Amino acid sequence: MEGKSNPIHDLATRIYVELVSRNTQLEEGSVKLAASAANMATLSIKLAEAFLESEAQATLAREPAKDYKLGSDDIASWGKK
């Protein structure tokens, strides 16, 4: 895939490689997967989507409030203290 990077695809690919490597048994003359490759691919995509969504929500929660409005009454109250 050329062009722009797709963060879900990139993360899902890394997760998939990790899942396959952890669930593959290599023996002389055979290869055994503990789970189906299609199931691991589907799980990888779902995990990547969930992770990136959670990460985005956590990032938003850390951002300062952007809709604060400073009014003339606020400024006037500073002088009364």
What is the DSSP secondary-structure string of 1-41?
A: --SS--HHHHHHHHHHHHHHHHTEEEETTEEEESS-HHHHH
* 1 has a pLDDT exceeding 60: no
Q: What's the domain range around 46?
A: 1-61
Task: Give how far Cα 63 sits from Cα of 49, 52, 53, 56, 58, Å.
Answer: 22, 17, 16, 11, 9
Position 68 in a domain: no
For residues 50-77, average pLDDT: 84
| Residues 37, 40: Cα–Cα separation, whole Å | 5
* 14 has a pLDDT exceeding 90: yes
Position 23 in a domain: yes
Domain count, the chain: 1
Position 28 in a domain: yes
Position 46 in a domain: yes
